[in-house]
Amino acid sequence: METERTRRVSQHNLASVRHHVHDEIHREQAKQVAVMQMEQERSRRMSEGMITQVHTHLLRRNSIDKVVELAEHERSRRVQELGDQVVANQSLRLAGQAAAVEAAESERRRRLSSIEHVTTMAGISAVEGSVAPVDIKKEEEVASMDMSAPAVAMSYPELPVASAAPDVEQKALHDLTVALADVVPLPTNSNHDDDDVSKLQRIRLLRFLRGHKGNVEVAAAKYRANLAVRQEHNLDTIRDNILLGHIMTELDFPHNDKIRYF
């Protein structure tokens, strides 16, 4: 019996050991399976994270490329619009300048025609007023004397200042003086003061003529226009009062105090 009991105890112990070993093996296998599953899950998550990161980077890159493309397209459009606007403004400016030049030329032709008409009518009136009955024989004698007399070159007054082309400017100044005789009368007396005034007037006319490149017609028209503006606003009187230090009211010239201050 003791032997049987010992055998049974040994079998029980052996069974317990086997069961314990089996449990340990099963637990170790379960642990390895769990570790493997965790590693697989970690790898899967890392792979998904990398894929998501790459996808996000690609989306961001595509968005940046689209934004850059849109910005470049917008810049090109604005540059094109600016170029078109510049061309349009230039065309409008040129058209306006051409219209202004045409208007100025038309106004110049109109004024010249008016000046020529007035000069012609004044010459006709002067001739008609000075014509008197003459003897035909005396007229023929005078004509024959004029035909036989040698031609005399017309002489013009000397220029008040030095000139590079005195002959041309003498004639031009004489023509301008004749054209403006009704608005710029020369002194008739021969005293010293009148000579100074006459010289000053001739200097001013010569400077005005040179400022318009020696064109008598343009200079005469511009001088008459400037004179009309000066007379309309009393500019000559205001200038003289400023130079002489005369007191002017606000009605005479509202900017007198400002000019005196400066």
pLDDT of residue 95: 83
pLDDT of residue 128: 36
Q: Does the pTM of the predicted model rise above 0.95?
A: no
State the pLDDT confidence band at 194, using cuts at 50, 70 and 90.
low
Count CB neighbours of 173 within 10 A.
26
Alpha helical stretches, state H, the chain: 2-130, 136-148, 166-179, 192-211, 216-233, 235-244, 256-261
Count CB neighbours of 206 within 10 A.
20
Residue whose token pair is 């202004």: 100
pLDDT of residue 204: 83
Tell me the range of 8-17, 100-109, 149-158, 251-260 where mean pLDDT is highest: 8-17
pLDDT of residue 131: 37
* pLDDT tens-digit map of 92-144: 888 888 888 887 777 777 777 665 554 544 444 433 333 334 444 444 454 44
183 contact partners, CB below 8 Å, separation of at least 6: 223, 224, 227
pLDDT of residue 41: 92
Residue ranges of the domains in the chain?
159-262
* pLDDT tens-digit map of 203-260: 888 888 888 888 889 888 988 888 888 888 878 787 777 777 777 676 666 665 655 5
* pLDDT tens-digit map of 28-75: 998 999 999 999 999 899 988 899 889 888 999 988 988 999 999 999
